């Protein structure tokens, strides 16, 4: 399995395994959708490989079972509901005291561990305090602050950073059929989260975005005449409008960058460079900053449940009002 990014974390874990200094419990924390669980699964596979641990050979029965998700000594628990209940923790505990079936260790990966109820967390503390021999626990969370301090203090904490634009672009290239420029744009807009980036593809984000850029272009060329299609392209429900506001803001950020550098290096919306160039003819740097502020306050208005239609019409008018000539 190909892992993008997180080389440091994997190296550190492998070094600990080689030095026989593995912790009983690791807490992987960091933003949602960046591959924490994937790293835990890959490392679990590596640890159990009888051929080349702590690196997975990829060929042996153990490696293949792990990859197919049916290794009897790797337990991955993804909470099916909004909370992890005490019964579910008890079941895991029962499994943890049994000897490994095939390997020399047993690995437990618990996703969204912050979902443990207080009772479940307190029950789990017993396992953390006296971890069964030959078990390694990987607790995974994107909400570090929601964990009980007593749980936190018993884990070795490993932070995970968002994926770099390069890594995310490569990942998208591998998983989707989009062209490299689009992949880079989505990677940048997704802020380093593979889950967010992939969701953008599923939601037909690219079509929505290209429609929105068309409307933005019309707004700038036709002014008042373009407002109707601009408001329409921004979307109807709150979530969609919020995403659209993000896109429009990224466009003005790009225009500002282009005005400063006079080239498209660092521009997010590279695939619609012509629109960015056209906007750069009509907005000064100061106007871009002002429009960004206007968009920011529109975002706040949206959160405060202002009338969307009026809010977007006003936004369109304000954008036109900032244009040169």
User: Which is nearer to Zn ion, 51 or 91 (by Cβ)?
Assistant: 51
The CB-based long-range contact list for 297-302 (8 Å cut-off, 24+ gap) reads 298/245, 299/242, 299/245, 302/238, 302/241, 302/242, 302/245
Give me the DSSP letters along 209-225: HHHHHHHHHHHHHHGGG
Tokens at 49, concatenated: 């490989």
User: Which is nearer to Zn ion, 58 or 132 (by Cβ)?
Assistant: 58
Which residues contact residue 131 at a Cβ distance below 8 angstroms, ignoring those fewer than 6 apart?
24, 25, 137
User: Which is nearer to Zn ion, 17 or 259 (by Cβ)?
Assistant: 17
User: Which is nearer to Zn ion, 60 or 148 (by Cβ)?
Assistant: 60
Q: How far is the CB of 196 from Zn ion (least distance, A)?
A: 33
User: Which is nearer to Zn ion, 94 or 101 (by Cβ)?
Assistant: 101
- Cα separation, 250 vs 126, in Å, equals 49
Q: How far is the CB of 105 from Zn ion (least distance, A)?
A: 14
- Cα separation, 273 vs 277, in Å, equals 6
- Cα separation, 316 vs 291, in Å, equals 10
> Which one-letter DSSP state was computed for residue 307?
-
Residues that bind Zn ion (CB under 5 A): 49, 51, 57, 60, 63
Q: How far is the CB of 51 from Zn ion (least distance, A)?
A: 4
Q: How far is the CB of 60 from Zn ion (least distance, A)?
A: 3
Q: How far is the CB of 93 from Zn ion (least distance, A)?
A: 28
């Amino acid at each position: 399995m190909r892992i993008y990014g997180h080389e440091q974390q994997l190296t550190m874990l492998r070094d600990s395994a080689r030095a026989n200094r593995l912790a009983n419990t690791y807490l992987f924390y960091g933003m949602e959708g960046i591959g924490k669980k994937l790293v835990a699964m890959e490392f679990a596979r590596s640890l159990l490989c009888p051929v080349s641990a702590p690196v997975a050979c990829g060929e042996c029965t153990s490696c293949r079972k792990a990859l197919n998700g049916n290794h009897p000594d790797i337990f991955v628990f993804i909470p099916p509901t909004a909370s992890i209940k005490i019964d579910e923790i008890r079941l895991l505990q029962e499994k943890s005291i049994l000897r490994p079936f095939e390997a020399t260790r047993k690995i437990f990966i618990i996703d969204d561990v912050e979902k443990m109820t207080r009772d479940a967390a307190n029950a789990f503390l017993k396992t953390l305090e006296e971890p069964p021999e030959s078990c390694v626990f990987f607790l995974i969370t994107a909400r570090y602050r929601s964990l009980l301090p007593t749980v936190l203090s018993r884990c070795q904490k490993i932070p995970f950073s968002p994926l770099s634009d390069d890594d995310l672009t490569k990942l998208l290239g591998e998983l989707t059929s989009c062209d490299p420029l689009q992949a880079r744009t989505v990677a940048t807009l997704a802020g380093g989260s593979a889950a967010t980036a992939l969701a953008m593809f599923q939601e037909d984000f690219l079509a929505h975005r290209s429609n929105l850029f068309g409307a933005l272009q019309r707004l700038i060329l036709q002014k008042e005449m373009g407002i109707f299609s601009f408001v329409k392209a921004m979307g109807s429900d709150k979530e969609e409008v919020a995403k659209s506001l993000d896109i429009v803001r990224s466009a003005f950020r790009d225009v500002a960058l282009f005005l400063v550098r006079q080239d498209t290096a660092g521009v997010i919306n590279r695939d619609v460079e012509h629109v960015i160039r056209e906007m750069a003819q009509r907005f000064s740097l100061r106007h871009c900053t002002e429009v960004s502020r206007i968009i920011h306050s529109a975002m706040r208005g949206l959160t405060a449940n202002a009338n969307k239609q009026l809010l977007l019409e006003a936004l369109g008018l304000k954008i036109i009002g900032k244009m040169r000539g």
